[in-house]
Amino acid sequence: MSSTGTSIRMPTPWLAVALAAATVLALVAPAGAQEPAEPPIIPRPVSLELLPGEGFQLTRTTRIVVDVRAPDDVVDVARHLRDLLRPATGFALPVTRRSLAWEDEHGRPDTRHNQIVFALDGDAGSLGREGYTLDSSPHEVRIEAGTAEGLFRGLQTLRQLLPPEIEAATPQDGPWTVPAVSIVDYPRYEWRGAHLDVARHFLTVEEVKRYIDLLAQYKFNRFHLHLSDDQGWRIEITSWPNLTAIGGSTEVGGGPGGYFTQEDYVELVEYAAERYITVVPEIDTPGHTNAAEVSYPELNSCRPDNLPSHRLYAGSQWANQPFYTGTGVGFSSLCVHDPVTYEFMEDVISEIAAITPGPYFHIGGDEAYQTPEADYVMFMDRMRDIIAANGKTMMGWAEVARANTLPGSIAQHWSTATGGQAGGNLARTAVAKGMKVVMSPANRVYMDMKYAPGVPPNLGLTWAGTVSVMRSYTWDPGAHIDGVTDEHVLGVEAPLWTETIANIDHAETMAYPRLAGVAEIGWTPQADRDWEEYRLRLAAQGPRWDLMGVDYYRAPDVPWPDGG
C-alpha cells in the first residue's frame, strides 16, 4: 500500500466494512441511491489505488502526447482516444510527438503542460501484451505499457474514469475530471471473446462494426464470426459463387438474407484489428450445412434422390422447400466420403484463411447428428490437416475433441454441464489430448437465452434455461468442469445466436448488460469478483449506454441510477 494513498484492492479491515455497508445499501436503499465504493470500471482492474488531492482536468488546452520515437501503432492509439473524446468535449485534443524526458533533476513530473501521455515502457514481460499502468495527477494522465495493445486497453479504462457524458455524440458541458488514481492492470485469461451468428439472421457491415465497438469498450480481444449455417451462407467464396448467390439469399423466417463480399469481410477484420480484436471465422461443418448443399447439390449427393437434406423431414413444414428458414438443428450433413466435399472445403478454408490475419479457424463440428462417429472423426482429421496447411490453428465446438486433433487446438465447451457431469466429458477429453478449452457454457454465457421466463417477451430462447444478469456473472471458468482448470482454460467466450435476433438493436438487448460481466470474468482475478459490489459498478454503466444509444435490458437486480 502506498504511503500517499489508499488502495481499494488491499484486504484491509476498513475495506471489509465498506463492502459490507455497500452490500446492505444495495439491498435496502432506494434504486439509484447507491454509489460504487470505487471508480466504476468494468472490467475491474487488478490494482486500483485512490490518491489524495485533485485529479486531472481535461480542458481545451489538453494535448495527447506520444514519444517522438514511438511507432505508428502508438500514434494510432492516441488518435483513437482523440476521436472518442472530441464529440462530447468539443476540444481539439491534438496528438503531439515529443520527447518524454520530462522529469527535472528531482525526478518530479514536468507540470508545465496539461496532457495525456501514452508511453511504451519497453517491457511487455511483467504485465503481458495487454497489461498497462495508468497514473492520474493534476497535470497529467500517463498510460504505460509494453505494447500498443496494452496502451489501447488502458485507453478504455481512462474512458471509464471520465464522466458518462464523455460517450455523447454531441458537445456536453463537462467538467471532464479524471480522479487521482494509480492503476496496475492485466488480464486473467488470454481469450476474452464474443461470438456473433450472422447466418440465422444477417447483420450488415455497419451493424457488426457497432458490435465490435461495444466489445472494444470492455477489453474483449476475440470476435468469433459464425458465417455459415443451414439458413444462410454469409461469406463470398469466389471459386464457389452460388454459396452467396443462392445460399446467402434467405434467413430464418424467409427474410432477404445477405452476405459479406470478401472486401466487406476484410473491412471488418481490419476494423476489429484497429481495436486489437482478432476475428475468428467459423464455417460450421459437417452439419449445419444446408445452405451450402442447396447452393451446390453435389455436396449432398449421398442423400436420397440428391435432394437438400432438410427434405428428409417428409411431411413437415420444411418439405419441398428450396431453402431452410426454420430453427431446428441436426438434419444436414456433407457427404464425407465424396472427394468433392474436400475440394469444397479446401477452397473455402484457403480463401478465408488468406484474408484472415488471425491465427485461428473455427470448423464448427457441433450437432452433426447425421454423420456417424467414425465418419465424423475421419472428416475432422482431414479438416485438421487442411487448416494446418493454411497456417491456422483449428478450433471447434467441444465435439471436435472426438477427433485426432493436434496439440494446441481449441475446443469450445458449450454444454450446460457443471462439475463432474457427463456433459463435461468432451472438455475433459480435449484436455487429455493437449487441447486448450474456451469456456462458453450455454446456461451461463449464451447471450440468446432469455433473462427470465418471458423476458424479453419477443426475443431469446430457453433451451438452456434462463440466464439472469447475476447468473451470467457468478461462475468461475477455471472451476466450472472437474478436471478443467485454469491451466487448461484459454479463456471465456459469450455466443450470441440469432434465431430470434433480426438486427443490432435486438443483439444489444440480449447482450447488454450481460456481456459486460463476461468481460470481467475474462479479465479480473476471480478473488476480486463479487456480485453485490459488481452490480453497483454495472449500474453506473447505464448512463453511458443511454448516451450511446445502447438497447440494454434494465435488469431488476441492478440498481440503475434512474430506477430502471
Q: Dump pLDDT digits (tens) for 299-323.
A: 988 865 444 444 333 333 333 446 8
Separation between Cα atoms, residue 166 and residue 179, nearest integer Å: 15
Q: Give, in degrees to the nearest 5, the angle at Cα 36 between 34 and 41.
A: 140
- Residues 67-101 have pLDDT tens digits of 999 999 999 999 999 999 999 999 999 999 998 86
Separation between Cα atoms, residue 274 and residue 80, nearest integer Å: 9
- Residues forming the active site: 367
Coil, helix or strand at residue 416: coil
Mean pLDDT across the chain, nearest whole number?
90
Q: How many CA atoms lie within 13 A of 327 on its CB side?
A: 12
pLDDT at 562: 82
Q: How far is CA 363 from the centre of its chain?
A: 19
Q: Which residues pair with 372 in a beta bridge?
A: none
**Mean pLDDT on 387-412:** 97
Give the chain's radius of gyration (CA, Å). Answer: 25
The pTM of this model reads: 0.91
- Residues 239-295 have pLDDT tens digits of 999 999 999 999 999 999 999 999 999 999 999 999 999 999 999 999 999 999 999
Separation between Cα atoms, residue 22 and residue 16, nearest integer Å: 10
Q: How far is CA 65 from the centre of its chain?
A: 29
When pLDDT is cut at 50, 70 and 90, the band that residue 121 belongs to is: confident
When pLDDT is cut at 50, 70 and 90, the band that residue 38 belongs to is: confident
What secondary structure does DSSP assign to 206-248, as a single string? HHHHHHHHHHHHTT--EEEEE-EETTEE-B--TTSTHHHHTTT
Looking up cell 430470434 gives 500
pLDDT at 19: 36
Q: How far is CA 189 from the centre of its chain?
A: 13
% of the chain with per-residue pLDDT over 70? 87
Q: Give, in degrees to the nearest 5, the angle at Cα 349 between 284 and 294.
A: 50
**Mean pLDDT on 123-140:** 90
For residues 269 and 353, the answer to whether their CB atoms sit within 8 Å is no
% of the chain with per-residue pLDDT over 90? 83
Alpha helices in 111-190 (DSSP H): 148-161
Separation between Cα atoms, residue 266 and residue 287, nearest integer Å: 26
Q: Give, in degrees to the nearest 5, the angle at Cα 563 between 558 and 564.
A: 65
Picking from 495, 468, 474, 496, the residue whose alpha carbon sits closest to that of residue 555 is 468
- Residues 433-445 have pLDDT tens digits of 999 999 999 999 9
When pLDDT is cut at 50, 70 and 90, the band that residue 468 belongs to is: very high
